[in-house]
Amino acid sequence: MNPRASIWLKTVYARTWVRTKSIYGEPLWVAVNVGFPFFTSLALSLLYSSVGLKSGIGFAFLGGVMVSFWGNVLWSMASQFNWDKQQGLFELYITSPAPISAILIGMSLGGILGTAPSAITLAIVGWVLFAPPANPLWPLVALTFALTLASLYAMGMALSSLYLVYGREADSVNEALHEPVSFLSGVYFPASLAFPAALQAIALVIPLAVGMDALQRTLFSLNASGVADLSLVYRDILLLAMMGIILLFAASKALKILEEKGRRAGTIAVRLR
Amino acid sequence: MSYVRSVIASIRVGWSRDFGWTNPILGFSLKTIAPIASTMTALTILYIGFRNGALITPDEFPYQLGLIIIGATLYAHISAYSWVPTLAIAEGKWTFVFPQVYVSTRSSPPYLAGRCLASFASSTVTSTASLAIAAVISLFLFGVAIPLVVTPVSVLLFGIALAVNIFASMGLGFLLGAYAIFASKFEWALPTYVSGLLMVFSGALFPVTSLPTPFSNIGDVLPFTEFIRASRAILLDGTVGPYFYYLGLSFVGGIILLALGLLAFKYAEQRARRLGVLDRKVV
């Protein structure tokens, strides 16, 4: 095998392994990660019930599942290099022959594998507690779910390069981004039933919004007839695929530019600013 | 007197920690965005329920929006500062600030109280701003004006309610801080769980009576529930009698929770000193 490809794959495997091991080696992580999304989903489910819309409970729990991944993207992808910098790990990354893009891909795969147990637990608990009515088109659900995660984690990679130039403000930016993006994406409710068309169009630049729309349509139909509007689902799938590719490309370019700039200015490994 | 000076110094430390990295306007703006968004999420679900459900009539809808907007912003306010003692301890162990605090006699409680008060002050500004902004967004998004009672008297009484709630939130903070002293990992997990539980049990988003017993009884006696009820009574109904009734209950519950929190923290700190774990790092 080409030595460069070999190093790239080995780096992906190593970073995936470290992240996965850190979660599965400590089963308490599952209990810890499931907590806040569960209570948020539970509270919003009870809100749906109290306003006479029990059929909406599924949206609340689907939202909890996807928020687990969105939180992982923000806190364990976007700001990861920032923490690595503070702990001195980032210096090791840039002085080793390991490609940064491979480290990011490994981090993404490990993040998905690590978040999956808490997301699955949340989905099972929601289903057992409330049995929300669903009308899933499983092949399309699987495809949209995979594409949503791919574009979401690609966005995490792009953000991580951006966060390389940040100092302490990374945490505050994360806190400020988490809820508004969830709201605009219609994580806990179908945006198409609540937002005006202009706001829905603006939200289409967020991978989470497109993914949530597709998942809600393929899992819960969203139509009085009970049949999902497949043309909108295919539009979302196409958008997600395009976003994934564009964001991956943007992340790779941004990383190279910022890495070069950081090396020249001598600020790439500065720990606290 | 030294206690007061310590508390004031800790308030300055708290503000410096929260806003020292940027200018105050940007700092406050970033902290205001999240509660606005979470409040809007709850309001949007209510709107979808109103449009597609059968329980809310058009006449009731503005009032229901008012219930949710007050509950959601005040829940965000409570959860923003009640876990600050835990954060101060956990972060303090990492940054070696906490060992510098506890080496002086009886210094941790005023330090944590000061950090809590600093966060209370900034959270009061951000949650009040988020309440106002969410009301304006609702007007544009749902075409409904929320019937909030905004008069000098109601604003003053709302301010008093916010101040009274400090006892309960600080008490909860000290209880969680007692745990954080011993935690060597996942120190943020318990406050996150407690914060999630409060969302369900404080009646912020739906009436606690809709919970099955005994959960509804638990939610009914929490000082946070009474605080939210008192705020709704004055900001939405404009009624003074129920306001003082709920505020009195919140005050009594808050004092009890604060006493319990301080006792638990004192016991935990003494035990941690004996065991030598006060400066054990969070991993």
Q: What is the pLDDT of residues A209-240, one digit of tens each?
A: 999 999 999 998 766 555 667 899 999 999 99
Band of residue B282 on the pLDDT scale cut at 50, 70, 90: low
**Distance in Å, alpha carbon of A188 to nearest chain B alpha carbon:** 7
Band of residue A265 on the pLDDT scale cut at 50, 70, 90: confident
> Is A179 close to B41, i.e. CB distance below 8 A?
yes
Q: Cβ neighbours of residue A224 under 8 Å, at least 6 residues apart?
A: none
Q: Which of A65-74, A77-86, A246-255 has the lowest mean pLDDT?
A: A77-86
The span from the CA of A203 to the CA of A209, in Å, is: 6
> Is A46 close to B56, i.e. CB distance below 8 A?
no
Orientation angle between helical segments A138-163 and A80-87, nearest 10 degrees:
40
B281 belongs to a structural domain? no
Q: Cβ neighbours of residue A51 under 8 Å, at least 6 residues apart?
A: B45, B46, B48, B49, B50, B53, B55, B56, B64
> Is A172 close to B21, i.e. CB distance below 8 A?
yes
Which of A61, A183, A192 is the mutation pick for testing B, counting most B CBs within 10 A? A183
Contact A60, B205 (CB under 8 A): no
* Per-residue pLDDT at A202: 92
Please check the confidence at residue A271 and state whether its pLDDT lies above 70: no
Domain tally for chain B? 1
Q: Which of A8-17, A218-227, B220-229, B234-243 has the lowest mean pLDDT?
A: A218-227
* Per-residue pLDDT at A70: 95
Rounded to an integer, the average pLDDT of A110-115 is: 93
B141 touches chain A (CB under 8 A): yes
Which of A179, A212, A216 is the mutation pick for testing B, counting most B CBs within 10 A? A179
Orientation angle between helical segments A207-220 and A57-73, nearest 10 degrees:
150
Orientation angle between helical segments A138-163 and A207-220, nearest 10 degrees:
170
Among B108, B249, B232, B85, which Cα is nearest to B165's? Answer: B249
Measured CA distances, A86 to A21, A98, A107, A166, B36 (Å): 22, 19, 18, 12, 31
- Chain B residue whose CA is closest to A40: B196
The span from the CA of B18 to the CA of A168, in Å, is: 10
B156 belongs to a structural domain? yes
B108 belongs to a structural domain? yes
> Is B21 close to A195, i.e. CB distance below 8 A?
no
H-helix or E-strand spanning residue A189 = none
- Chain B residue whose CA is closest to A51: B49
Rounded to an integer, the average pLDDT of B195-212 is: 92
Contact A216, A72 (CB under 8 A): no
Contact residues, B window 253-282, toward A, CB-based 8 Å cutoff: none
B283 belongs to a structural domain? no
Task: Provide the residue range defining the domain that includes B64.
Answer: 2-275
* Per-residue pLDDT at A4: 86
Higher pLDDT, B2 or B182: B182
* Chain A residues close to B187, C-beta within 8 Å: none
- Chain B residue whose CA is closest to A87: B94
B233 belongs to a structural domain? yes
B280 belongs to a structural domain? no
> Is A194 close to B48, i.e. CB distance below 8 A?
yes
H-helix or E-strand spanning residue B190 = helix B189-201
B125 belongs to a structural domain? yes
Give the 3-state secondary structure of B104-148.
Answer: CCCCHHHHHHHHHHHHHHHHHHHHHHHHHHHHHHHHHHHCCCCCC
> Is B46 close to A51, i.e. CB distance below 8 A?
yes
> Is B35 close to A173, i.e. CB distance below 8 A?
no
Q: pLDDT, tens digit, for every residue of A119-162? A: 999 999 999 999 998 888 899 999 999 999 999 999 999 888 77
In this complex, which of A43, A167, A169 lies closest to B205 when CB atoms are compared?
A43
* Chain B residues close to A182, C-beta within 8 Å: 37, 41
The span from the CA of B152 to the CA of A59, in Å, is: 41
> Is B37 close to A183, i.e. CB distance below 8 A?
yes
Contact B177, B263 (CB under 8 A): no
Contact residues, B window 17-46, toward A, CB-based 8 Å cutoff: 21-22, 27, 30-31, 33-38, 40-42, 44-46
Global ipTM: 0.92
Rounded to an integer, the average pLDDT of B243-262 is: 97
Mean pLDDT of chain B: 91
